[in-house]
Structure formats: structure tokens, C-alpha cells
Structure 1
């Protein structure tokens, strides 16, 4: 009886060990997001790259890429921070609020299995990396890229409102054909093409050869979602032009293609829309079915509702989360949804703040009163 019990325990621990190993392997492709915890070192050395690998921030091939092109690392650090901040911002009112991304590189099962949350993180991390690297290329911070190669096609007619008003005043409006003939590609466009190539090389450096059939398929899905994130940025390039000429006549336009000035957050908003329409896929000969468009997000594991604490599935639950207790709030931020029907408690507290401040000219000082404000919050049961 003792031998049987001991044997069962050994089998149990072996199964747990295998499960942990599989999770570690599956989480390798996004464990680089732990770089968000790294210090802002402008110059990376080979020793720093090896140290990042030892700390679990990079897997073997990513550390090799770090050593060969160390100047990309400060941008990847910022991309990792962008990924975490954007993810937490767009999910702030959802039951899963992306707080587990802060655990990198030791993720919980919500990001270790093929959930749609994992799909979003893969796509968002790729988008953030491209945005940061493309800007670094244009700014001349990277040795392997610079400004984007000018397109061959003629840009459409775009004249700023200020120039347009002047043209109308002078009754000298350019027709479309004339305007198109008086332009030149110039400036320094964001080199998204090179940034996409660098990002792909870095993110796909995780090898799936050591994984089983399920692991290889999940790796394929991860790479698909990363590609969807890259394409989101590639498709967001917009045409920017600057007019030249006497009195703003716009006789010549200099045009280039640039990224959204709002930063990676703009890409995160677009990827979040894809999260809601993500498609579930099943392994089929280790390949993705051809019917799925490369811009879609894909997942392999259905997510739990994230209402209650469930370590097995990486759910932190929503107990204690603040919600919108306004009775008219029926959205995701409303207590009815966020608290999963468990109800909520209302808490009030008095906050003392400076108010009614006045500048005293004679004494070069500011005098303020103290105001008492009552703040009401709602927390899920």
C-alpha cells in the first residue's frame, strides 16, 4: 500500500513537472516583455544581453539577436512598457484587466495557454515593437536602418487649410493634375518595412522544434497573431505633406509617410477591436486553416469568465475591483457586469484638498483654503 502511494505521488509530481515545462516553453515568445523592468541603459553590451537571458527576460536566440544588434534593445524596452500600459488601459473596465502582464516572465495560465488574451498581447507587443523601431530608424538611432524608401506612386492632392485659404484669396487654385506634378517625396518617413523585418526576426527567434504537436501549433498561432499586430501598424501609415512657396502658395509639396503621432496606443485600440472578434482554431496537421485572414486574431483555448479567483486558469477574480455604481451604467465598467452579479459595497471618504488659491502680489506668495470633498467609490463583493 505504501509503495503504491509513493508511486502515485511520483507520477503526480512528474505530471506537474511536465506541465510546468510545457508552460515555460509556451511562454517563451512573450517573456521578453519582462524587459519593461530593465533599467534605461542606452548602450547594451554583450554581457548585458547574456544577463537578460540569465534573468529570464530573453530566450537563447533572442539573446543572440541582442548581441548582434544591441542598439535595438532600448527601443524594445520601451515597446515592452508600451505593451503593458496600453493593454492595461484598453482592458481597465474588463474582468480580465491585463494585470498579469506585470508578472513577466513568470506568467500565469491566462497568458501561457492559447487564450484570446494571449492573442492580444502577442499582437500588441509586435505592434509596439514596430512603432518604436520605426521611429528609431527615422531618428537615426539604429545602424541597420534609416528613413523609409520613398514610394514610387504620386501622392494624392493634399493642401493644408492655411495654404488653401491663401490660394482662394489669390484666385489661384491648383487643379489636381497640376498639384500632383508639383510635389516631391522628401522628409524622413518612418521606416516601417525595416522595423517590421527586425521585429519579425526578434519575435520569431523562439524555436518550436523542441515542442510537441500542440506546442508547435500554438507557436504557429502566436506567430500569426504577431503578424496581425505588425500589419496593424503597417496599415496605419498616413500621408503627410508640407507646402513650399511664396506666401504659402504650395507651389511645391514635400511628402512622406509617417506613423500616427498618438503612439502605440492607436494600434492598441485597433487590435482591441480584433480581440472581440477573434476566431477559435483547432490543430490541423500543425497548420492554420486557409480560411482565416491574416489580419484576424486567433486563439486555441476558451477563456474563463475571470469572475472568481482561479489560479489554475490564471484568473485573479474581480473581488475588490472598483466599478461604476451609477445605476445608468450598464457597460463593462458597471458594477452589474464587473462584479459578476455578486453585488458591490459603497464606500465614502473625506478628502482634504487645496482650493480657492489666490496670488498675493505684495508678498509673492499663494494663499489657499482647505476644502472638504466627499469621494464615493464602489467595490465588488
Structure 2
């Protein structure tokens, strides 16, 4: 007959095993997104990918494309920077924890913010890879352009960004194919595709004329992506218009039926989340507002403190000796509003 202490140890051991199994069974898609957005500093891991603890499939992709690891590092940095800039004066400012007192992490459940981060990270990977193709940093793809009927018209500076390759690498690296077919997996994949498509919407045609004396006897055209921040406006709109869904049954691992899939297709171009965001007001104490109107929202009615700050800037600039610009330094005091 087991004693109470032995039973307790056995139950504790079973609990640890169950936790490890659950962690090990987490899909690559979720694990990768969380890893890229959580590890704010550059952490070197063993293996070809170096940036994260890669799956065998991811390690194979990184080994095949040796420069992908640095591209992923760039994607991570630009995603975090763009997020923090876009949400600087919002109640949620891209923090990984909603409430530090209870340590409620945004990846514990599928909140609106979690859905947004999935879209944001996928968008950043797609953008960084597409740009890497055009710059020559990635060797297994090339710049895209319109060669026309005469390939000799092509100029090297007419080099387009390979969005299709960026999309393919993003899907493969996140192991889209094996992400699952249950309801939660379908929602996460949809959120990822919303991010990828937001990058595709930024593709613009750029043309350059060739000919004597500036004439346009021949024209080279290619497609190019704008800066990553240009996609943040689209992504933030998706964030504000995200759709809250309920699981149609309690067996989350059950593959969804065609009837349920048809219902999901009605919102297939929107971010989808499952849980309501916790109260964010407790985390805005001490935050700086953009202005008084922004304080009314950010400070949640608690009021704000006004202080003065000296700001230096260049002013009264003028041309000196033909080719140099000389400016004075002006100092002015500005109001700083801080939430109580």
C-alpha cells in the first residue's frame, strides 16, 4: 500500500511528464512565432538556424539556405520595432505580459494580440525574405523583373522583390502543412495568411526608362515592396477589426467538418481570436501619452501628470559657401503627459 508521500511524488512525476508531452506536441508554427517574438535579444542556439531551437525540418531549410538565419534575425527585429512604434500610445504596447502581477502571458491563450503577433511575424518573415532575394543575400532565389521580349533590355537596377518566394519560405518554415486540421490550427493558419497577404498588398510596379537624352525608347519594369512599416497600417486595421470566434465543440483536436469550414470562410480574410483581452488599464500606470486626448484613453480615467522637458532641434538652417548647410541648435520646452 502506497503512503501519501509516495502517491504525491508519483502524481507530481505524471504531471511533469504530461507538461513535457504538451510542450513537445506544440505545433512548429506556434512554437516558432512565440520564440521569434519572445526572445528580444539575439540568442544563439546550436544548429543551422541559430536564432531558435529549430525542428528537423527547419534545420534542413536553414542548412540549405545558409543566409536564412540572418534574414530571420532581421525579420524578428523589424517586427518587434514596428509593433512597438505602431502601438506606442495604445493600451497594449506589444508587451508580452498583460498583467505583471499575475504574469499573464499573451501566448497562454489566443487573444486578439496573439492573433496579431502571428500575422505580424509571418508578414515580417515574408518581407525580409523577399527583400533578401532582391539584394542577393539569399542564393536560392533571384530578383524578379519584367524582361520583356528582349532580355538584353534588362538592367541590374531593375531588380524586383520576390514576394512569392517569401511567401513559400514563410509557409515552409512555419511548417504550415503539418500545423494541424483542428479548429485552433485553422485559426492560426488564417492569422498567418492575413499577415502574408498584407505584404502582398504592398507590391508596387516600378519602371525605369532607357534611351538617348532621357527618352523612353525602352522601359524596364519590376515590382518592389515598400518599407515594412508601410504594411503596419494594414496590419493594425486587421487588429482593430479582428473577429472573436467560439469553438464549435469542445474536442479541439477534432478535424473540422466541411459545414464548419464554410462558416469559417466567411471571415477568411480577417484576424480571428478566441479569448477576450484582459483589462489592460492596470498596465498603463507611468506610461507617456502622445497628448491630452490620448491620455483620456490611455490612462483609463485615472488622470495624468504634466511635466516639462527640454528638447533640442536644428533650426535656422542656411547654405554656407555653396555646398554646406549650417544650422543653429534651438531648445524649447514641451509638455510631457504621464498616466497616474
- Same-fold status (TM-score > 0.5): yes
SS in structure 1 of the partner of residue 171 of structure 2: helix
Partner of 1:319: helix, strand, or coil? Answer: coil
Which residue is 1:87 aligned to?
Answer: 83
Q: Which residue of 1 aligns with 2:32?
A: 29
Contact 2:145/2:222 (CA < 8 Å) preserved in 1? no
In terms of Rg, which structure is larger?
1
Contact (CA 8 Å) 1:96, 1:306: kept in 2 or not? yes
Runs of 5+ consecutive residues of structure 2 not aligned to the other structure: 98-102, 249-253, 321-326
Helix, strand or coil at the partner of 2:231: helix
CA distance in 2, matches of 1:89, 1:123: 17
Three-state SS of the structure 1 residue aligned to 2:202 is: coil
Q: Deviations over 1:280-314 (max 9, x none)?
A: 22334544534334321111111123111xxxxxx
Deviation at 1:135, TM superposition (A): 1.4
> 2:42 matched to 1:38?
yes
Q: Does 1:194 align with 2:193?
A: no
Aligned positions, number: 307
Q: Of 53, 62, 66, which aligns to 1:66?
A: 62
The one of 67, 83, 94 aligned to 1:98:
94
Aligned to 2:302: 342
Q: Does 1:271 align with 2:231?
A: no
Match of 2:100 in 1: none
SS at match of 2:220: strand
Per the TM alignment, residue 229 of structure 1 is displaced from its structure 2 partner at its CA by 1.1
TM-score by length of 2: 0.74
- What's the offset of the Cα at 1:36? 5.4
- RMSD (Å), alpha carbons: 4.2
Alpha-carbon separation, structure 2, partners of 1:203 and 1:35: 17
Q: C-alpha separation between the residues in 2 aligned to 1:307 and 1:16?
A: 35
Q: Deviations over 1:182-213 (max 9, x none)?
A: xx77632211111111111012269556xxx9
Alignment correspondent of 2:335: 376
Check the 8 A contact 1:23/1:112 in 2, yes or no. Answer: no
TM-score scaled by structure 1? 0.67
User: Would the aligned equivalents of 1:28 and 1:206 in 2 still touch at CA under 8 Å?
Assistant: no
The answer (yes or no) to whether the contact 1:35–1:77 under 8 Å persists in 2 is: no
Mark the CA change 1:226 to 1:353 in structure 2 (over 3 Å): closer, same or farther.
closer
Structure 1, unpaired ranges of 5+: 102-106, 155-183, 309-316, 362-367
| Post-superposition CA distance 1:236-284 (Å, at most 9, x none) | 2111111122332322211111112xx1111121111111111122334
Residues 12 and 98 of structure 1: CA distance in aligned 2, closer, same or farther (over 3 Å)? farther
* Cα 1:82/1:7, change in 2 over 3 Å: same
Taking the TM superposition and a 5 Å limit, the aligned residue runs for 1:1-381 are: 25=26, 27-30=30-33, 31-33=35-37, 37-38=41-42, 47-49=46-48, 52-53=51-52, 56=53, 58-59=54-55, 61-100=57-96, 109-148=105-144, 150=146, 187-204=158-175, 208=179, 216-260=182-226, 263-284=227-248, 286-287=255-256, 288=261, 289-308=263-282, 317-326=283-292, 329=293, 334-348=294-308, 351=310, 374-381=333-340
Cα offset for 1:375? 4.5
Task: Quote the Cα distance in structure 2 between the aligned partners of 1:147 and 1:34.
Answer: 32
Deviations 1:111-139 (A, max 9, x none): 33111111111111111111111111122
Q: Look up the SS of the partner of 2:187 in the other structure.
A: helix
3-state SS of 2:142 partner: coil
Secondary structure of 1:145's counterpart equals coil
Q: Is the 8 A contact 1:124 1:271 kept in 2?
A: yes
